[in-house]
Amino acid sequence: MRKRIAAGNWKMNLTATQAQSLTSELVQIAKDEYTGQGLVILAPPAPYLPLVHHLIKDARNFFLSAQNMHQEESGAYTGETSASMLTSVGATYTILGHSERREYFGEDEALLAAKTNKALAHGLKPIFCVGESLSEREAEQTLEVVKKQLSGGLFHLSAEQFAEVVVAYEPVWAIGTGRTASPEQAQEVHQYLRTLITDHYGSAVAQETSILYGGSVKADNAREIFLQPDIDGGLVGGASLKSRDFAEIIKALG
């Protein structure tokens, strides 16, 4: 049975004091109000990873994720963070291939494949993002784009390695733009991704792969989105910065 997941990507937001308050509030609300088996993954900015880990380490079904990592083991890479550094402060997941990393930092499939290899070698589970831009959707290239991203970044893995990966579909045109993909539009792409995984790794692996939706998931639309048969939760941006909103998204996992 595949995992239901609410992952909060805080991006470059919050002070340390705000991060502490948000995490503490989430842990308490989840303890009081959520009895389901869904996983909660928090991805704070790198400086706050030890702080957040300390606050969630004894909380049921809470896990820590990095927002990115470097593909090399160590070395003269000023400002970068290695997989071993992340695991040493309690991270068990790392986001890879987020649209902002692809767009602003030029990350391509070859680089992301290398990052994925390094993450898995250190026991980090990648949350691997794919998704199309507005121009690509309008040109009806959505399925072609996500196939290229998924296969180029992940399909070199063995079935055993791939089983450690969480996939996230984020339509770039629906992030922070006020535009929202309908649950049916999201489901169409999720179903296609699962079909690609089935074709490459077989049905058993595909049916165990969690595929998250990352297109402006909010407290008021999460339940409808998560009811779609191939959507296993959300990779949440802005709404994860508000404890009550994110708590409602967690509860929508069921």
Catalytic residue check, 98: yes
Residues 66, 50, 48, 36: is their CA dihedral positive or negative?
A: positive
Percentage of the chain surpassing pLDDT 90? Answer: 93
Rounded to whole angstroms, what are the CA distances from 155 to 16, 20, 146, 169?
Answer: 38, 38, 13, 16
User: Residue 129 and residue 102: Cα distance in Å, rounded?
Assistant: 10
Residues 55, 167, 242, 13: is their CA dihedral positive or negative?
A: positive
- pTM of the complete model: 0.96
How crowded is residue 223: how many other Cβ atoms within 10 Å of its Cβ? 15
pLDDT of residue 178: 62
User: Residue 186 and residue 181: Cα distance in Å, rounded?
Assistant: 6
Task: Using 50 as the pLDDT threshold, list the residues of the chain that sit under it.
Answer: none
Catalytic position from the list 100, 107, 109, 170: 170
pLDDT of residue 181: 80
Catalytic position from the list 53, 98, 122, 190: 98
Catalytic residue check, 138: no
- Count of residues in the chain: 254
pLDDT of residue 192: 98
